[in-house]
């Protein structure tokens, strides 16, 4: 009958037009900001560009050190996607999905911290893995890492598939209207990376005002798209 279960984190989206099939355009990324390689390098070298503050509303959540991470996090880092999805369905995995992984400076301040969903969204995960992580800990889609990024920001920045982006949007459509620390919406980040029309349409249908929103550099999503010859 089309009814949605009350606790379903993936309510159906009413889209009259069918999805486009255009994939991400292949292009280099000369725009300012981090590439995947630079981002990974920053993480391994200490992520000095990341914030060291912790949001007050998440400071009481469980956390582990980056040198002794949870099994779920380790499986994600090794891209063992089948094992990740399987672990999300057991009690221990569900607990780990809501556990921050934290790296600290010598003085004890936080260098970086993130949830398993953040890490997965940086690594172009399969859609079923993203769904499993969200089902294991639904609030993760609304939480920013220490760099001010939602999982959706990371997915758009790291060229996740259209299915992954769609899954994140279905889980919490309001995330399409949230900016990162540089005032960029997920739409800005997708356009910056030369996203295909299907992803851009999905983001615009979810938050149409994003098209007229400027980031901290005074740039519209259209400016970023044009810079990529999209």
Question: Is residue 8 included in any domain, yes or no?
Answer: no
Same domain, 129 and 61: yes
What was the pLDDT predicted at 212?
A: 97
Instruction: Give the pTM.
Output: 0.77
d(Cα 88, Cα 134) in Å, to the nearest integer?
9
Structural contact between residues 67 and 73, judged by C-beta atoms closer than 8 angstroms? no
Q: Are residues 190 and 221 in the same domain?
A: yes
Domain-located, residue 210:
yes
Question: Which of 83, 111, 146 corresponds to the end of one domain?
Answer: 146
Give residue-wise pLDDT tens across range 54-113: 344 566 889 999 999 999 999 999 999 999 999 999 999 999 999 999 999 999 889 999
Note whether residue 132 is domain-resident: yes
Domain co-membership, 211 together with 174: yes
Crossing angle of helices 162-171 and 127-136, rounded to 10°: 20
Range of the domain at 132: 52-146
Decide if 135 contacts 5 (C-beta within 8 A): no
Same domain, 169 and 133: no
Mean pLDDT over the full length of the chain: 82
Same domain, 94 and 136: yes
**131 vs 3, more confident:** 131
**1 in a structural domain:** no
**Among the three residues 85, 116, 146, which one is the final residue of a domain in this structure?**
146
Count the domains in the chain: 2
**Angle at Cα 181 formed by Cα 180 and Cα 187, nearest 5°?**
30
CA angle 123, 133, 93 (to 5 degrees): 115
122 and 160 housed in the same domain: no
pLDDT for 229 equals: 73
Q: Is residue 20 part of a domain?
A: no
Domain boundary among 146, 169, 184: 146
For position 22, what pLDDT does the model report? 33
* Same domain? 195 vs 165: yes
pLDDT value, residue 108: 87
Residue 146 has pLDDT above 90, yes or no: yes
In this structure, are 124 and 176 located in the same domain? no
d(CA 5, CA 186) in angstroms, rounded, equals 27
* Three-state DSSP class for residue 187: helix
Looking up residue 183, the CATH number of its domain turns out to be 1.25.40.20
């Amino acid at each position: 009958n089309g009814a949605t279960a009350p606790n379903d984190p993936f309510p159906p989206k009413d889209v009259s037009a069918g999805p486009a099939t255009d994939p991400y355009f292949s292009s280099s990324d000369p725009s300012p900001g981090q590439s995947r390689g630079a981002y990974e390098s920053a993480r391994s070298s200490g992520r000095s560009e990341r914030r060291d503050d912790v949001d007050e509303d998440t400071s009481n959540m469980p956390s582990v050190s980056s040198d002794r991470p949870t099994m779920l996090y380790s499986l994600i880092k090794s891209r063992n996607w089948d094992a990740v999805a399987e672990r999300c369905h057991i009690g221990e995995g569900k607990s780990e999905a809501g556990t921050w992984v934290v790296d600290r400076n010598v003085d004890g301040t936080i260098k970086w911290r993130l949830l398993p969903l953040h890490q997965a969204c940086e690594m172009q995960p399969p859609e079923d893995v993203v769904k499993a992580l969200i089902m294991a800990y639904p609030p993760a889609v609304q939480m920013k890492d220490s760099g001010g990024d939602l999982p959706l920001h990371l997915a758009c920045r790291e060229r996740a598939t259209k299915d992954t982006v769609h899954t994140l949007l279905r889980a919490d459509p309001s995330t399409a209207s949230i900016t990162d620390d540089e005032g960029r919406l997920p739409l800005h980040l997708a356009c910056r990376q030369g996203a295909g029309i299907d992803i851009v349409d999905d983001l615009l249908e979810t938050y149409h005002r994003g098209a007229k929103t400027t980031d901290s550099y005074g740039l519209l999503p259209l400016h970023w798209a044009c810079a990529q010859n999209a």
